[in-house]
Amino acid sequence: MARDIDSRRHFIGKFASGIAGTLATGHVLGANERVRFGVIGLGVRGKELAREALTSPNTQLVAVADVYGKRLEEAATLQPDVKTTSDYRRLLEDPSIDAVFIATPQHLHAAQFCAALDAGKHVYQEKTMALTVEQAKRMRAAANKARQVVQVGHQAISSGTMADTLRFLGSAPLGRITAIRAHMYRNTPHGRPQWARPVYPDMTPENIDWAQFQDDAPAHEFDARRFINWRFYWDYGGGNVTENMSQQLAFWYKALNLQIPRSVTMTGGIYLWRDGREVPDTMNVTMDQPEDLLWSWDSGFGNSQLETGEYVLGDEGTLARAQQLRYLPQKVNRRDAPELIGQSRTQPAAHVHDFFNSIRSGREPGCPVELGYRVSIACAMAVESYRQGRTVRWDARNEQIV
């Protein structure tokens, strides 16, 4: 196949010749065993995850895979003797690798995730877990079949704020929760659109494995701008829904054990950055939850005054989450109840450390596939609603958007 030929042409690592076809077997490592890991996708987030992983005790970065040659050259700054390849499948063939971090554009997650589990690797899957319903089903099925640990990268789940939230939910009554109001706003200087990255001269077909980047997305001729600014395009991601709403949604889906919405409506548009992007820069999402509560989220890239936060609204109290967590009693029903402020600190790289601890102990990590699945479906419903210009509903029996 052309893709395999192109991948071999770009292969620059020095993998041992005897590893092809030999797969690592997933197993629980001993408490003192070294976890050898690889990274698939060494962009900004991939580098961050690699550095966080190296702060965990007794870990080793073994290999890196990326379709862009420059990033493979940069891998040596993380670890001088790291192996490199443009084809993630070559990385997965290395039997010495116990775990992989997948930090690629979202349309690539499903194929790489399933291949990694099939190769016997533990997987840290950067958010959002899946871009489409079909991909989410495939990933859930692969994880249910496998024995390995899977951590989805909604890192706030391992935060001190989550610890405070769970404590407050147990001791500070909210009463009947009927709504969650969430928002996420940013701003950038004039002439510097949100998410826009420069196209460098070396971003050429010779240095980027375009066929592997596209995978099964709709075919396009080589376009360096699509490659580096993939967040602009529906083919590769879900805009700020999958970039940031997913993070806020995952936190409360975890804390309150919320299920897939009954219906979702998303509106908005490209009101500010008319630079060729397809995804909106200003948007509103409402979700009718089966728990009989309404999730509403609004977001924009033209003003940062409101920043990021959520309010969980019950008839006896409110949980307000921003930099800290606050419990605010509804005095009409809890006249003498005190306000509370969360104090728990978030340890550096807590979510990555939780992943490694789960590998060694065999316990379920903080953000397992089942939670990543529910969040992925909710986000896919929002994107479908926006693109179709109508409210969409979840058919739970057939597991499909209608």
Specify the pLDDT at position 30.
Answer: 65
Second CATH level (architecture) for the domain 160-203+229-347+389-401: 2-Layer Sandwich (3.30)
* 8 A C-beta contact, residue 78 and residue 85: no
How many CA atoms are closer than 13 Å to the CA of 357, on its beta-carbon side?
Answer: 11
Q: Give bridge partners of residue 298 from the DSSP assignment.
A: 183, 284
Cβ contacts of 18 within 8 Å, gap of 6 or more:
none
Specify the pLDDT at position 81.
Answer: 93
As a whole number of angstroms, the distance between CA 24 and CA 95 comes to 4
Would you say the pTM of this structure is higher than 0.85? yes
How many CA atoms are closer than 13 Å to the CA of 345, on its beta-carbon side?
Answer: 3
Q: Give bridge partners of residue 161 from the DSSP assignment.
A: none
Specify the pLDDT at position 33.
Answer: 87
Over its length of 402 residues, how does the chain's per-residue pLDDT go in tens digits? 333 333 333 333 433 333 333 333 445 676 668 999 999 999 999 999 999 999 999 999 999 999 999 999 999 999 999 999 999 999 999 999 999 999 999 999 999 999 999 999 999 999 999 999 999 999 999 999 999 999 999 999 999 999 999 999 998 889 999 999 999 999 999 999 999 999 999 999 999 999 999 999 999 999 999 999 999 999 999 999 999 999 999 999 999 999 999 999 999 999 999 999 999 999 999 999 999 999 999 999 999 999 999 999 999 999 999 989 999 999 999 999 999 999 999 999 999 999 999 999 999 999 999 999 999 999 999 999 999 999 999 999 999 999
Dihedral sign (CA 321, 324, 325, 330): negative
Domain ranges of the chain: 160-203+229-347+389-401
Q: What is the DSSP string of 177-227?
A: EEEEEEEEE----TT--TT--PPPTT-STTTB-HHHHHTTSPP----HHHH
Specify the pLDDT at position 172.
Answer: 84
Closest by CA to 373, choosing from 254, 282, 270, is 254
As a whole number of angstroms, the distance between CA 318 and CA 5 comes to 58
Specify the pLDDT at position 325.
Answer: 97
Q: How far is CA 144 from CA 121, 204, 250, 264, 380, in A?
A: 14, 40, 20, 27, 21
Helix (H) or strand (E) holding 137: helix 133-145
Q: Give bridge partners of residue 31 from the DSSP assignment.
A: none
